[in-house]
Structure formats: structure tokens, C-alpha cells
């Protein structure tokens, strides 16, 4: 039987590979994170596409009403925060909220489910982490995408010259151009970092707590695991909501003048 340390390390180890076929290293691709992200993205697109095609104006089903509730919630947030006209922000925000929520939802899978499947398939030593948002590479990738959108929307709204001028003139005026530029770069870089680390930290901590609970005796697992799972539903929803709202806020700031 594996020790507690080996058990924790096994569950926190990614299934990754480099171009040379070796495991680990800076340029390693986490196959589990990539695969789960892709599957969950297709699930989101398939479910929302199916509901859209079968939508009824009269006597809509409960699931359609649930999807409409999510769409209305996202749309209201966009209208309250983003005051410019854009056909892109609302679909982007909906995609971010639902995709990140599905990422986080994987944290509610039984902690030993993947290991059990690996045992049944004759590969007990295989590693597979099912929560993409517990991988800092995934959260940073999404946040860097938001960073490119911030820059793109800034240039679209102000022009390349206007955006560069703002980098050197705000917030202290054009006479302090170098200082303004330093502060602008710090602000620009801190946005994706804060987005990524906030989501990663919460989901990694949640995953680790589930692993620690799984090490307890069977009765204690149910006594602690059940309440923590219920509380974690709030966390995974809140983290998806926060990621979406901050993205909208950052894009709104990008198109506004100081």
C-alpha cells in the first residue's frame, strides 16, 4: 500500500510529455490538462448549440430555462460593466464563465475515480489530473489570452498612436513619461497574473483538501467530504464568475480614456 506522501504525489502529478518523449521539464505538455480542456470545451459548445437549435418560445423546457438564466446573468453583467457597443464581449464572457465553471466542476469527481479507471484498464501507475484550472499553465494561458484582448481593444478604441501615447502620458502627465510607462506595464502585466493565480490557487487548494480528506478513515471521509463538497460548489461557481467579471472590467477599462 502506498504511503500518504506517495498517494498525494501520485494525485498531484500531471500526465505530461516533451517533444523528445520524456516526462517533465519546462517545455512539457500536460496531456491531461489539454485533453480535459478540449473535452469540456466541446461539451459546452454542444450543449448550448443543442439548446439553441431546440429552443421554444412557448412552453420552454426546464433545461432551456436554466440555460437562458445563465445567458441573462452574463448579459446583465456585460451591460452593467461594458458601456461600449460590442458583439464580441457577451459571447466571450459566456464562454469564459461556462468553460471555467466546467473546469472547476471536475474537482467534485471522486478523488480516486481516475485511479480506479486506470487500474481497470491495466495501467495503475498512470497519472491523470482531471481539473484543468488546478494547473497554472491552463489558467495562465487563459489570462494571457485576455491580456492580448486588452491590448487589441485598446488599440482598436484609441488607435496605435493613441494607445502608445496613453502609455507614456497616464496617469501623471506627459512630463513623467518613463514613470508612466513603468506603471502602465506593471498594471498591464499584473492583470493576467492576478487572474491566473487567483483561479489556480483556489482550485489547487480545493483539490488538495479533497486528497487529504481521502486519506482519512472511511467515516471521517463522509463527515468532512460531504460538507466540503457542498461548500466547494459555491467556490467553483464564484471563481468562474470572478474570472468572467474581471475580464469584462479589464476590457471595459481598455476602451475608456483616462
Residue numbers annotated as active site: 194, 198, 202
> Residues near 226 by Cβ (< 8 Å), separated by ≥ 6?
none
Half-sphere exposure of 18 (CA within 13 A, CB side): 8
31 burial class (0-12, 13-18, 19+ CB within 10 angstroms)? middle
DSSP H/E element including 226: helix 218-254
Contact 243, 95 (CB under 8 A): no
For residue 248, the tally of other CB atoms under 10 A from its CB is: 21
* Angle separating helix axes 62-81 and 89-105, nearest 10 degrees: 120
The cell numbers describing 196, all together, are: 491566473
> Residues near 15 by Cβ (< 8 Å), separated by ≥ 6?
30, 31, 32, 126, 127, 128, 129
The cell numbers describing 256, all together, are: 475608456
Contact 147, 191 (CB under 8 A): yes
Burial 83-114 (b: 16+ CB within 10 A, else e): eeeeeebbebbbbbbbbbbbbbbbbeeebeeb
Contact 122, 247 (CB under 8 A): no
Amino acid at each position: 500500500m502506498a504511503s500518504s506522501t506517495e498517494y498525494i504525489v501520485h494525485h498531484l502529478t500531471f500526465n505530461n510529455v516533451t517533444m523528445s518523449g520524456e516526462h517533465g521539464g519546462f517545455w512539457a505538455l500536460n496531456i491531461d490538462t489539454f485533453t480535459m480542456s478540449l473535452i469540456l470545451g466541446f461539451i459546452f459548445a454542444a450543449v448550448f448549440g443543442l439548446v439553441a437549435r431546440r429552443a421554444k418560445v412557448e412552453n420552454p423546457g426546464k433545461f432551456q430555462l436554466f440555460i437562458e438564466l445563465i445567458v441573462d446573468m452574463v448579459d446583465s453583467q456585460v451591460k452593467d460593466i461594458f458601456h461600449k457597443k460590442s458583439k464580441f464581449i457577451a459571447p466571450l464572457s459566456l464562454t469564459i464563465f461556462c468553460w471555467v465553471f466546467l473546469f472547476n466542476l471536475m474537482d467534485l469527481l471522486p478523488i480516486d475515480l481516475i485511479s480506479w479507471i486506470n487500474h481497470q484498464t491495466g495501467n495503475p501507475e498512470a497519472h491523470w489530473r482531471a481539473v484543468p484550472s488546478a494547473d497554472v499553465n491552463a489558467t495562465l494561458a487563459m489570462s494571457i489570452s485576455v491580456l492580448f484582448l486588452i491590448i487589441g481593444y485598446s488599440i482598436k478604441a484609441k488607435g496605435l498612436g493613441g494607445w502608445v501615447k496613453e502609455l507614456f502620458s497616464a496617469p501623471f502627465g506627459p512630463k513623467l513619461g518613463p514613470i508612466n510607462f513603468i506603471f502602465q506595464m506593471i498594471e498591464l502585466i499584473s492583470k493576467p497574473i492576478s487572474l491566473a493565480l487567483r483561479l489556480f490557487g483556489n482550485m489547487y487548494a480545493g483539490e488538495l483538501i479533497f486528497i487529504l480528506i481521502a486519506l482519512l478513515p472511511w467515516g471521517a471521509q463522509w463527515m468532512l467530504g460531504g460538507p466540503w463538497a457542498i461548500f466547494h460548489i459555491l467556490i467553483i461557481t464564484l471563481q468562474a464568475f470572478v474570472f468572467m467579471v474581471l475580464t469584462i472590467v479589464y476590457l471595459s477599462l481598455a476602451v475608456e480614456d483616462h
